[in-house]
């Protein structure tokens, strides 16, 4: 888990987890560049359309709630370690 928090690109992930991380990163950083090929990559990794739908809902929700928190100036809890910090 810590390897994923530090850098998912170098973490020892399964094919499907790596595909999900790549998809989540693209959807988060460049949502306007999503293509049908991005869904095909998830299908090739073994996900069916229901699993893809569920993944998109979770990714979109986290992006939404982070933007709400950022826009309202919500301070992170002090008992939660920042990503990548031991």
In sequence order, what DSSP letters do the residues of the chain get, joined into one string? Answer: -HHHHHHTTTS---HHHHHHHHHHHHHHH-GGG--HHHHHHHHHTT--HHHHHHHHHHHHHHHHHHHHHHHHTPPPPTTSPPTT--
Instruction: For residue range 42-70, list pLDDT tens digits in order.
Output: 999 999 999 999 999 999 999 999 999 99
The pLDDT value given to residue 84 = 57
Q: Which has the minimum average pLDDT: 33-37, 67-71, 75-79, 82-86?
A: 82-86
pLDDT value for 5: 75
How high does pLDDT run on average in the chain? 90
Q: Which domains does the chain have, with CATH numbers?
A: 13-72 (1.20.1290.10)
pLDDT at 78: 75
Question: Of 27-31, 57-61, 80-84, which gets the smallest average pLDDT?
Answer: 80-84
Q: Please, which pLDDT band fits residue 32 given cuts at 50, 70 and 90?
A: very high
């Amino acid at each position: 888990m810590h390897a994923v928090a530090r850098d998912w690109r170098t973490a020892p992930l399964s094919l499907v987890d790596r595909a999900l991380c790549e998809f989540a990163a693209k959807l988060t950083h460049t949502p306007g560049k999503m293509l049908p090929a991005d869904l095909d990559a998830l299908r090739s990794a073994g996900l069916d359309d229901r699993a893809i739908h569920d993944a998109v809902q979770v990714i979109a929700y986290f992006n939404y709630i982070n933007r709400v928190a950022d826009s309202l100036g919500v301070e992170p809890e002090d008992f939660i370690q920042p990503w990548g910090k031991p």
